[in-house]
Structure 1
Amino acid sequence: PPLSPCPTPPRSAGSCRAPSPTRPSSPGGCGPSTTRGPPPGAAKGRARPASSCTTARCPTPRSSRPPTIRTTTPGRPAPGSAARSGSPRRPRTSSPSPTTSSVSRRGWPLSGPMVRPRSASCRRGPASRSSPSRRRTGRATAARAPTTRSGSGKGPPRWPGGKLADAAGSRSAVAENGTAARAGAGVTFGAPAPSGTPLTATASLDGTGHGFLTPGAPVVADTAKDFAVGGWVRPARVDGTRTVLSQDAGTGRAFTLGLTQSGAAPAWSFAVGGARVTGGLPETGDWAYVLGQYDAETGTVRLYVNGRAVGEETAAVPVAGEGDFQIGRARGAQGYRDRWQGEIGDVRAYDRIVVPDELTALATRAAQRVGHWALDTAPDGLAPESDGGAPLKLGAGASVFRLDDDPCDPFDPDCFQDWPLEGDGHLRLDGVSGHAATDAPVVDTSGSFTVSARVRLTDDAPAAPMTAISQGGEHGDAFKVRFDPENSSWDLVLAHADEPGAPETVLRRIEWPDGDSGVGHRVTLTYDASANQVSFYVDGWKESDGGTAAFDAAWKSTGGLQLGRGRTADGWGEHLKGVVDSVYAYAGVLSETQIRQLP
């Protein structure tokens, strides 16, 4: 007879998990049994049984407190410290995995002279808050979104082109229309562009007196009215004061956008008249989209780094600036100074306040896939990467399970055939020594990245923590995702340094063990270096309270990607007894929609 769903009393009763108030309820936890369709590669018409639960498997009462985000020293958290009633799992999607082409943005490289802005309308909307952030995005502030106002505005002047059209050795950037921009001898065209953007090249400035570009005319027509300037930049040096964009005002400048020193560290900077706002952390060799704007209505200046406001909104009294627009230098009493060393691209200037959606599009970098392991085969003990990248080397206690050529009927009560979680196979790990690993790091854990895997536990009552996926160094893991039986939770754990006993940040999601049945869970973590934030998703969803945390202690791991084990005080440990399948790694942060599209 069909199984009856478990009752759903109030959370305080603790007998069964109620649907989450933040997303639609879905099969999972306790409820009627369901049947999963055939896996890719299986014979047509066969279906794969999914896990089900009876009333006998209803969870025992647990605390209703929300999951915690904590920074701790290594060691076991207090029993039940983060437990709460779990929320139903989201149904899996059969949508294809996201690719780099699934996200688009606008942008043009530095390759020609400025053009006057075209007309466009913008609206004033209510200010919104963005999350406080530190380090790369500056000191913690309750930053508001860029402000727009009613009336007509003007579009951006652009230096357009899918690639640089200037011949090698050219001393000017060809204009789309208008006056060409003269380039000093210290400018090299065809420099690298930020990945994940439409830009194919930028201009490199050498930091000498010859490293500049100028159209020989002003670009911001009236510095007493609304205006904004910005572009993609990658500093080769972050010492001293260095200018990205400026406009002459007699023997001074009307405004400057660049970097300066703030205490003992460099900071991005935007100055109008005698007022300056600083924030964020420029890092040598790291790309950033920087934009400064002046709001004539409020008489204030704001600075944005990678689409987020940094520093404090500052009152300013503009000065008339009818001189030439400058790229890579600023005017001083003794001539030009504060020269930029590094790359600059996609330079834009606006005679209005920037619309929030525009700023987001300008600063967005699409995630780039750097690894995918289907784990369907492992010839000679090597599970290949789908695009020919680094394989995963299987250790003792690890094997790849493949579907039989003639599997039994899943509806036959005597059929005990296992099914791959995805595709034609999955990785089996014995919980003793089983693991698979690459020889070198797959993601740069000091920058933005996304890692995801589908995992199913063999036991329904594991005795000790088990790590599904990790990447770290000699003493600790820059990240690891593990199951903690003490709290019946999947945990994302991030060590603050590659040192014994380093503090850890932990994000937690309550889920019951699988008991070697069903399709397991897809666990996904993201780290956004521009916002210094980590997020943790299980089956495509993160907790509305506790799914994201501030994290400003990222470090660059030196070890390979690990499946089935993690670093402990005694070396390798926390071996997983279960199966792992369909592992993805990205440079950059996938959107929530893309994460839900992962198989």
Structure 2
Amino acid sequence: MAAVVAVTSGTAHAAGNLPPKQPLVQDLQADNKPCATGDDKAYVSGPPTLAAVLYDPEEDDRPAEGNMVKGEFEAWWTDSAGAEQRRTYTTFAASSGLSQRWWMPEDVPANTVVSWRVRANDGKATSPWSSEGEGSVCEFVYDDVNPEKATLSSPEYPQRQDVFWVDGVGVYGHFTMDSPSDDVVAYTYGFMGGPYGTVRAQQAGGAVTIPFLPLASGPQQLTVRAIDRAGRSSGESAYEFNVKSGHAPVSQWKLADPAGTTSAAAETGTAARTGSGVTFAGAAPDGTGLTTTAHLDGGDQAFLTPDAPAVDTHGTFAVSAWVRPERTDRDMAVVSQGAGSTGAGLGLRRGDEGPVWSFTVAGQEVSGGAPETGEWAHVLGLYDAETGLAQLYVNGHETGTKTKAEPTRTTDAFRIGQGPGLSAWQGDLGDVRAYDRVVVPDEATELAYRKPKSLGHWSLETASDGASPERSGRAPLKLGTGATVYRVPDGSCLPELDPDCPAVSYPLVGDGHLQLDGETGYAATEQPVVDTSDSFTIGAVVRLADAEPAHPMTVLSQAGEHTDAFKVRYQPSEHAWQLVMPVKDEQGAAETVVSQIESADGGEGQGHRLAVVYDDATDQVRLYLDGFAGTSATADFADGWHSSGPLQVGRGHTADGWGEYLHGDVDEVQAYAGALRDSDITGLGWGTDPCLC
């Protein structure tokens, strides 16, 4: 009996088999570009790969391996002689729902509109063409010509052959990219050191402008390539310009005026008259270069003002100051200008979880940090008009969440120590600044930098009367039993040249080092060296005598009444150097432990350079191994406590008293008040003091 045949849309199929589904336009692509016609057609950079997702009905009675379909592609165009050209291609059968592809032949002509369509074939029936019914023909053009190079310009940063140095760090430039080619749709760009990106033109052939914020001074270069609608790239265009350092604040008051002064001299801008609640010649934060500051009593007359605006609140601006509050239980103003939608203010606010620093712009606030009564901090608020974002720096580190704001211009006077809706400042203020540009992150860090002060440098090259001197004549390290300073013995032979000469070991650094016997040996000062409740840095060079130490061995410690405020030790069970910092001066108190993994050296080599940095401003502690930030570990540690005991080299507190004696060598013990930066840590342990530049 003959098979029953049905006819639908001009195709035939056998009884029991449904024809494949018509390919959908949204499932068709040419080189990953969607099917389109007319002005929206795809432009490609070479003979493209055509792709289509093809489906066979799930209702078909098929074997377990699933429904299989082939793709029948067809493409056509009119050649230069006016004749129509057609190409066809049939794929291998593949499972329903998969993408099927046609890599088009090389004879596809350039700069010619090529039309194409596809249908599915399950071996018994074919689907309608993708162009039939509500479908559509797809079109593409193979473009074989690269666009011309982009032209570049900037009103703020002309090329260096036109103007050699241009102002500057923190001042936005705007760079326009254009191309003579009318089919350019995007530009890829890169500034030296970043940022890098791609920006699209609003219309083909259109120019684009991007902002750029210089973060550092010096030579700068922008490189750009124009990209056309086919994805073809132009050659590279380069634009070179030189960036100056960031210009000075528009207003600055150091507030280091003599006692009895009734106005504050301005480094830049206008002098600020003072209320009667302001007195000068107060204490200044150490390591800042400030000599004195102003004290404000928190009353109605606790203010300073130039009686004029200091910043344009409708543009980019920043305000900063060194501050030391006498109280943190009320909202207080550091500086302000205007109020409400036009105003900006920097101050201290009582937060839900305690006091915080606050920067408010047009009623929008960003807050963070933890003000402490009697503690100096550097606070800086920045509004970037280019991005519309307000942000806050505390002690040189960004804190809080950047906040969108839309301020308007205010003509109100700039005020120091007062602000709308806030109490007057009660405490000390110094070096108040106002900028009309972005203060970039490195500048914010530098403004808040407090240069550490050397507290001691023990080279451990000599000892007399049971003590090794400090290089500047400060307190020596007294040597306990089992501790000696080793120096190469005098002799007339050299082991390297004379095989009969006794072998000698050489000091770790310089002419000598401290040797500790691991049983009773240690060295100590008579008084505390670092204030462990404030920022400090301490470092040493150490070489263990044993490859497999039998117990933990402490290199450096400084004790309180019940335990050590900090302890640097080698923990053999972990094969690690550790920094241990109890949170309280109590036996059994919880500890913060920071570890760096490194095997013991067993008396070999030049030992390891260890350093501890506690930064009270950021409430972080870091352990460095061999002087590099990349080999350091960091932990949060808030509210360091003051230790009253002397600095110990080679031992630490245990539950049974002194213990964890070090068996090995120690050299170059160095201590500082303040937190050394990563770049300074690399200078420790070499026999000299880092420059702290």
**TM-score under structure 1 length normalisation:** 0.69
| Map of 2:271 onto structure 1 | 180
Contact 2:251 2:268 in 1 (8 A): no
Specify every segment of 5 or more residues in structure 2 that has no aligned partner in the other structure, as ranges: 1-166, 174-190, 197-211, 216-242, 687-693
- 1:442 equivalent to 2:496? Answer no
Secondary structure of the equivalent of 1:537? strand
Contact 2:318 2:382 in 1 (8 A): yes
Distance 2:325 2:467 in 1: 40
Contact 1:267 1:278 in 2 (8 A): yes
Deviations along 1:49-82, one digit per CA (max 9) or x if unpaired, are xxxxxxxxxxxxxxxxxxxxxxxxxxxxxxxxxx
| Map of 1:46 onto structure 2 | none
- 1:248 equivalent to 2:317? Answer no
Specify every segment of 5 or more residues in structure 1 that has no aligned partner in the other structure, as ranges: 1-117, 129-146
Q: CA deviation at 1:363?
A: 1.8
Q: CA deviation at 1:471?
A: 1.7
Contact 1:269 1:276 in 2 (8 A): yes
| Map of 1:520 onto structure 2 | 607
Contact 1:475 1:568 in 2 (8 A): no
Q: Kindly report which structure 2 residues correspond to 1:2-81, keeping only aligned pairs within 5 A, or say none.
A: none
Larger Rg: 2
- 1:307 equivalent to 2:400? Answer no
| Map of 1:273 onto structure 2 | 362
Q: Kindly report which structure 2 residues correspond to 1:204-219, keeping only aligned pairs within 5 A, or say none.
A: 204-219=295-310
Contact 2:579 2:594 in 1 (8 A): yes
Deviations along 1:392-437, one digit per CA (max 9) or x if unpaired, are 2222222223333437523144423233222332222221121112
Distance 1:323 1:432 in 2: 71
Distance 2:572 2:401 in 1: 45
Root-mean-square deviation (Å):
3.0
Q: CA deviation at 1:268?
A: 0.6
Structure with the larger RCO, 1 or 2 (CA within 8 Å, 6+ apart) = 1
Which of the numbers 493, 499, 502 marks the counterpart of 2:586? 499
Q: CA deviation at 1:177?
A: 6.2
| Map of 1:138 onto structure 2 | none
Which of the numbers 272, 279, 292 marks the counterpart of 1:201? 292
Distance 2:168 2:461 in 1: 55
Secondary structure of the equivalent of 1:361? helix
Contact 1:374 1:385 in 2 (8 A): yes
Query: What letter is aligned with 1:392?
Result: L
Which of the numbers 222, 244, 249 marks the counterpart of 1:156? 249
Query: What letter is aligned with 1:316?
Result: A
Deviations along 1:159-209, one digit per CA (max 9) or x if unpaired, are 367x94x44312012345654211223323232322222323322222233
Q: Answer with 492-501 or 343-352: which moved more.
A: 492-501
Contact 2:527 2:645 in 1 (8 A): yes
| Map of 2:260 onto structure 1 | 169
Deviations along 1:432-477, one digit per CA (max 9) or x if unpaired, are 1211122332122233221111112222332111111112323332
Secondary structure of the equivalent of 1:597? coil
Secondary structure of the equivalent of 2:465? helix
Q: 1:175 to 1:305 in 2, by over 3 A?
A: closer
Contact 2:253 2:265 in 1 (8 A): no
Contact 2:170 2:213 in 1 (8 A): no
Secondary structure of the equivalent of 1:379? coil
| Map of 1:547 onto structure 2 | 633
Distance 1:292 1:260 in 2: 14
Q: 1:327 to 1:234 in 2, by over 3 A?
A: same
Q: Kindly report which structure 2 residues correspond to 1:361-372, keeping only aligned pairs within 5 A, or say none.
A: 361-372=446-457
Distance 2:281 2:457 in 1: 31
- 1:231 equivalent to 2:318? Answer no
Q: 1:167 to 1:591 in 2, by over 3 A?
A: closer
Q: 1:127 to 1:309 in 2, by over 3 A?
A: farther
| Map of 1:324 onto structure 2 | 413
Distance 1:522 1:510 in 2: 14
Q: CA deviation at 1:575?
A: 0.5
Q: 1:345 to 1:120 in 2, by over 3 A?
A: same
Query: What letter is aligned with 2:378?
Result: Y
- 1:472 equivalent to 2:521? Answer no
Query: What's the % identity of the aligned pairs?
Result: 52
Q: CA deviation at 1:497?
A: 2.4
Q: Answer with 497-506 or 287-296: which moved more.
A: 497-506
Q: 1:561 to 1:120 in 2, by over 3 A?
A: closer
Q: CA deviation at 1:586?
A: 1.3
Distance 1:160 1:388 in 2: 39
| Map of 2:519 onto structure 1 | 432
Query: What letter is aligned with 1:443?
Result: V
Q: Answer with 548-557 or 559-568: which moved more.
A: 548-557
Distance 1:123 1:495 in 2: 47
- 1:122 equivalent to 2:171? Answer yes
- 1:401 equivalent to 2:486? Answer yes
More strand per residue:
2
Contact 1:148 1:354 in 2 (8 A): no
Deviations along 1:471-507, one digit per CA (max 9) or x if unpaired, are 2323332221112222333222222322222333333
| Map of 2:674 onto structure 1 | 588
Secondary structure of the equivalent of 2:594? strand
Distance 1:246 1:286 in 2: 22
Query: What letter is aligned with 2:336?
Result: S
Q: Answer with 169-178 or 522-531: which moved more.
A: 169-178
Secondary structure of the equivalent of 1:406? coil
